[in-house]
Amino acid sequence: MKYFFSLSRWVHELVHSPLRVFWGCLVFVGVSLLLNGSLLRLYGLHRDEIRLKVQTQQVTESLVDLEKQLRQAQDPAYLERQAMDRYDLADENDLVFVFSDD
């Protein structure tokens, strides 16, 4: 019985101190957020945001490279040079060396 009286006195003192009530509520909210997993989900979302920003930056850089290649592909001189390099062709004014396998 004495235990209940001391407990009620402690609760009475706690309730009549606004700062203690504030800290008690703050601890309760923190513990409840940890137990239901909200903080872990929030951390996971933050990680996903960072990952998506990096992927977006990579895709943007890739898009810039592709646009550069597209502009080059519209240049006839570039297309001619690529065809000559790819298919081992020579221009009229190019000097061609032929080596034997002997």
Q: Are 51 and 29 contained in the same domain?
A: no
Q: Are 26 and 53 contained in the same domain?
A: no
Q: What is the number of structural domains in the chain?
A: 2
**Rounded percentage of the chain residues whose pLDDT exceeds 90:** 28
Helix/strand/coil (H/E/C) assignment for every residue in the chain: CHHHHHHHHHHHHHHCCHHHHHHHHHHHHHHHHHHHCHHHHHHHHHHHHHHHHHHHHHHHHHHHHHHHHHHHHCCHHHHHHHHHHHCCCCCCCCCCCCCCCC
Q: 16 lies in a domain? A: yes
User: Per the confidence metrics, is the pTM higher than 0.85?
Assistant: no
Domain span including residue 23: 1-36
Q: 95 lies in a domain? A: no
Per-residue model confidence as pLDDT tens digits over 6-24: 878 877 777 788 888 888 8
Q: Are 6 and 26 contained in the same domain?
A: yes
| Average pLDDT score over the chain | 86
Q: Are 31 and 55 contained in the same domain?
A: no
